[in-house]
Every structure is written in structure tokens, then in C-alpha cells.
Amino acid sequence: MLRFMPVGDSMTIGSAGEHTWRYRMWQHLCAAYGGPFTLVGPRETLYDKAADEPTSYDYAEPEFPRAHLAGWGEGWLHMAPLIGEAVRAHRADVLLVSLGLIDLGFYTNAEQTTDNVRAFVAAARAANPGIRMVLLPVVPNIRALTDAPFAAQVALFNDLLAKTSADLDEPRSPILLASPPSPYDLDRDTYDGTHPGPSGEHRIAAAFAGAMHQGWGLGAAYRD
């Protein structure tokens, strides 16, 4: 059984009432992947913004594997120390990683964030030398429209992420850099300028699915 671990921040964990791109990816793989698979990870909750704490699902199909490694307000900085044990304990085969916006917004600059990417990859490989990874570039949010230094850091980090992915890629443990979700419109695809609504969830899932289909021949082209 192929075991996918979604890793991310608030755009990945989602909040109460959202389906999340994880759910859209699961639906896609159910239709497009020919073998057994599941989603794995140490956490299973959404996030309740009103209560400022994790909350259980109240909408998902019973068959949906809710597991992930995602957290509201967490980035590469937070996940690098956690990923090794998570991969080891849950026997992950493929990491689907969407991180960086929170790092650049609050914690680290582009170069420091790239250092944490390298630490993350090293820890994941120490736990599973054959781990495969798909990394999503940072999708600029509404802050990037008015904060030029922040927008510049996002652009720089995405350039560094592309170079780092190519540098760290190896046959035994391949790394794919997904193309940014496209088209992606903040008014249409998010509900607050940052977090994806239904169309944004589909576009993020499509970015991961497209990378795996084109790079590894896994699954098929994404269909909403």
C-alpha cells in the first residue's frame, strides 16, 4: 500500500467546515491511482478558528483517511524537527509538502527557510532512505500585493526552493517541485486572500497530482 503524508500549514490542515486539498487529493487518487493507498500522519484534526484549537471532522466521508502532519501557523521551521519521527512511525512513502508562507511571514527569511528545507529533507531521508517528496512553491497571498519586501522574499524563496530541489534530488529518494497552482486567483480561489476555498483546494490538489503524474507516471491528470 502506498502511503502519502500531507505536510503543511493552515492551508493544509484547513479549518472547521472546509474540505481541504487533502480531501480533494484523496478523491482524485481514488479515481486515478490503480493500487491501494492511504493518507498517513500523526494528526487527524481540522482547526477551529473560533476556539483557537484543533477540532474533529464533522463532514467527511467515513472512508476518508484524515491523517496528516499539518498545523495552523506552522512552517518548515516547525516541521523539520518533527518529520523524521512522523515518517518513521507512519511508514510514509510519499510526502506532499506545502510550506513556507508562514515562515517568510513571521519567522525566517528566504535563505534561513531554505536551510530548514534541507534539514527537513535530511531528517525524512534518515527515517526512510527511499522517501519520495513533492514540494509546492509558496503561493503568494494578499499580503504580497501590498508588502513589497514580503513579496520579494516569497519570490526569492521560490527560486531557492527550485535550486534546492534540483540539488537534493537523487534516484533513490526523488524530489519533485510542483508547478504553482495555475490559474490561481485570490478573489476566486481563497475565502480571505490566503486560505483556499473549494476551487483553490482543487487547484492545489491538481498541482500535486500533476507533478506526480508527469514526473513519476503516478495516477493521472487531475479532473475536478
pLDDT at position 48: 77
Residues in the chain: 224
Per-domain boundaries in the chain: 2-216
Grid coordinates of 32: 486515478
**Residue 107 · residue 75 · CB < 8 Å:** yes
pLDDT per position as a tens digit, 36-87 = 999 999 999 888 777 777 666 655 577 899 999 999 999 999 999 999 999 9
Q: Is 65 exposed, middle or buried (0-12, 13-18, 19+ CB in 10 A)?
A: middle
Distance of alpha carbon 144 from the chain centroid? 20
Distance between CA atoms of 169 and 199, rounded to whole angstroms?
31
Average per-residue pLDDT for the chain = 94
Helix axes 20-32, 198-216, angle to 10 degrees: 50
pLDDT per position as a tens digit, 168-207 = 999 999 999 999 998 999 999 999 999 999 999 999 999 9
* Fold that domain 2-216 belongs to in CATH: Rossmann fold (3.40.50)
174 upstream amide cis, omega within 30 of 0: no
Q: Of 159, 157, 161, whose CA–CA distance to 110 is shortest? A: 157
The DSSP H or E segment spanning 211 is helix 198-216
Angle at 136 between CA 223 and CA 184, to 5 degrees: 55
Report, as an integer, the average pLDDT of 131-155.
Answer: 97
pLDDT at position 57: 64
Phi, psi of 98 (to 5 degrees): -130, 95
